[in-house]
Amino acid sequence: MKIAILSDIHRNIEALKVAHETAINEGVERIYHLGDLRDYAPFVNEVVNFLIEHEIPGFQPYFGKNFY
């Protein structure tokens, strides 16, 4: 099984979309996000919604204490 590990998205929705598309095109069956999802900037909701919609589980150590 191929898996992809993502991290340090920092609310960059466009990079997340490209990473997701690349993983799918490479035959990845499961994608995980391992942290640094957001900061104080635009597109936080879009990034979180994308992860939820595409069933990408993850751990969000935003300042070491938050989870999604």
Q: For the chain, which residues make up each domain, given as ranges?
A: 3-64
Q: 20 vs 51, which has greater pLDDT? A: 20
Give 35's pLDDT tier (boundaries 50, 70, 90): confident
Residue 37's Cβ-count burial label (10 Å; 0-12, 13-18, 19+) is buried
What residues does 4 pair with on adjacent strands?
A: 31
- pLDDT, mean of residues 4-11: 88
For residue 21, give the DSSP letter. H
State how far the alpha carbon of 25 is from the alpha carbons of 45, 46, 61, in Å. Answer: 25, 22, 28
The reply to whether the predicted model has a pTM over 0.85 is: no
pLDDT, residue 42, reads 73
pLDDT, residue 68, reads 47
Report yes or no: 35 and 9 within 8 Å, Cβ to Cβ: no
Dump strand ranges (E) for 9-49: 30-33
